[in-house]
Structure 1
């Protein structure tokens, strides 16, 4: 059966295989000459494993750009999905390979595939590849794509403490107060105890009083004596101040805790 399947498949045709084929292995390892020979001998580039992984998935996940190019030129399906619903573009973003991402996009890969799982932007944020995040934003990635486990890309970037990715998302207009089970990015920042992340989110309008499905606000996830707790406490106290023009900010001294610093004349 294996022999008839391998010899009977045409380039670009979808086939099935119980385990990795030589094409999968060559793509995974970046063995360009071997992959060229297999393709020249008529190997199907769209054979899928029991978990629906194609050779293009393998090459993309490992950042094998030249193999990605060879497979696409031989008719590999650019938006094929594996058993988890991920496309090769998702895998390329997970690997952080900006070159693979560019190649896939140039061959028509969908930046916003209709998935119920993590989108390419989620994967780039999870990996912490700011270059991939920026490229996806530039080509129209959905900033509010929602995954039932991860929430939005901003949730992912905050949970993984990738500040560069967080900043790119916020500057692009990501909803700082988007919620997953009422949990916001600021809840994630508080949980990972990242003061810089907390400050960035609040400066972009993060709601310090937002409550999650347990009725807890971000500060409830901090240790009282921690810098993160002190930062949120200052923000909360700052919110009680009334300024003539509504302007106030929180600055962090080079040495020492955060302190509330009014930008204009304020009154209590």
Structure 2
């Protein structure tokens, strides 16, 4: 908040909606600083009005989907309630069912015409990844839901990676989700997983062909893993050829970011140049390309070499 004899300003960002993080911002400018009490009252009234509106238009169908009340949903649909009714912050009953991981409720809504394809903001697919419901992710994918989104803050694959929901991540990848998509200020799915210390997701993404160098701008996944203090993740990234000497926008290497005497620093210091076998593996995997990595298992090679190529 700014204060001056002629000018005062209130500006803020808040989240409305229990189930989706809809970002709303506001700014009020007042030219008479003597009216502080009036200004405060206006701000409070507007805030309460916005939040009240976001809840007042929730239907009984929203509440039933949120609570997983299948029989009640059936009754409400029979009574004629529309399955795609949206609240002011664009939340549908399907959003609620998926966020709660209520598969049967989500299926009933979809069977009665609920929209699974929406790509705006926090989609039902994003909510399913947030809750870790692989069943809902599979269901929505079968109904044509896309992992693409117009929102920089609500990407299903980034959410699954950061929450370490491995099964959801596997399903998204099997339905064509972009593994290396880098969002501004968010980074790649691998970067999100490293930042969150999601070891299982890091391994899955790398084995599925994620580029170990694609992070967030000049910050690499290795930078993120070091800052998160996850030595296991650092080990995995180095096995997949992460560059220990890459520098971020501040000119710092992963080693520069590691805490003194930490397990992460010990891992980085122990690793010398990549062994010839690891370099060969990285080269062969790059030559095969991500779309053909799964075919490494049918190459005419000894089983030990095929397992080595696939990190088994």
TM over 0.5: yes
Matched position secondary structure for 2:117? coil
Aligned residues: CA RMSD? 2.0
For 2:102 and 2:140, locate their aligned partners in 1 and report how far apart those are by CA, in whole Å. 12
Equivalent residues of 2:119, 2:146 under 8 A apart: no
> C-alpha displacement at 1:196, in angstroms?
1.2
> C-alpha displacement at 1:159, in angstroms?
1.1
For 2:269 and 2:65, locate their aligned partners in 1 and report how far apart those are by CA, in whole Å. 52
Matched position secondary structure for 1:178? coil
For 1:217 and 1:181, locate their aligned partners in 2 and report how far apart those are by CA, in whole Å. 14
Q: Tell me the equivalent position of 1:191.
A: 227
Q: Tell me the equivalent position of 1:102.
A: 138
Aligned length: 226
1:154-169 aligned within 5 A: 154-169=190-205
Choose the corresponding residue for 1:220, options 249, 253, 256. 256
Equivalent residues of 2:226, 2:258 under 8 A apart: yes
TM-score (norm: length of structure 2):
0.68
Choose the corresponding residue for 1:231, options 260, 267, 282. 267
For 1:73 and 1:17, locate their aligned partners in 2 and report how far apart those are by CA, in whole Å. 26
- The superposition leaves residues 168-221 of structure 1 with CA deviations (integer Å, 9 ceiling, x where unpaired) of 100111011013131011011111111111111011011111111111111111
For 2:277 and 2:140, locate their aligned partners in 1 and report how far apart those are by CA, in whole Å. 46
Choose the corresponding residue for 2:183, options 134, 142, 147. 147
Gaps of 5+ in 1: 1-15, 250-268
Choose the corresponding residue for 2:62, options 20, 24, 41. 24
For 2:117 and 2:58, locate their aligned partners in 1 and report how far apart those are by CA, in whole Å. 19
> C-alpha displacement at 1:115, in angstroms?
4.3
Equivalent residues of 2:119, 2:148 under 8 A apart: no
Equivalent residues of 1:144, 1:174 under 8 A apart: yes
For 1:128 and 1:247, locate their aligned partners in 2 and report how far apart those are by CA, in whole Å. 30
Equivalent residues of 1:92, 1:100 under 8 A apart: yes
Equivalent residues of 2:126, 2:156 under 8 A apart: yes
For 2:218 and 2:182, locate their aligned partners in 1 and report how far apart those are by CA, in whole Å. 13
- The superposition leaves residues 107-127 of structure 1 with CA deviations (integer Å, 9 ceiling, x where unpaired) of 111133454334211111122
Equivalent residues of 1:159, 1:192 under 8 A apart: yes
Q: Tell me the equivalent position of 2:71.
A: 33
For 2:57 and 2:163, locate their aligned partners in 1 and report how far apart those are by CA, in whole Å. 27
Equivalent residues of 1:117, 1:148 under 8 A apart: no
> C-alpha displacement at 1:19, in angstroms?
2.6
1:1-268 aligned within 5 A: 18-80=56-118, 85-235=121-271, 238-239=272-273, 246-247=276-277
Matched position secondary structure for 2:85? strand
Equivalent residues of 1:81, 1:88 under 8 A apart: no
For 2:173 and 2:256, locate their aligned partners in 1 and report how far apart those are by CA, in whole Å. 33
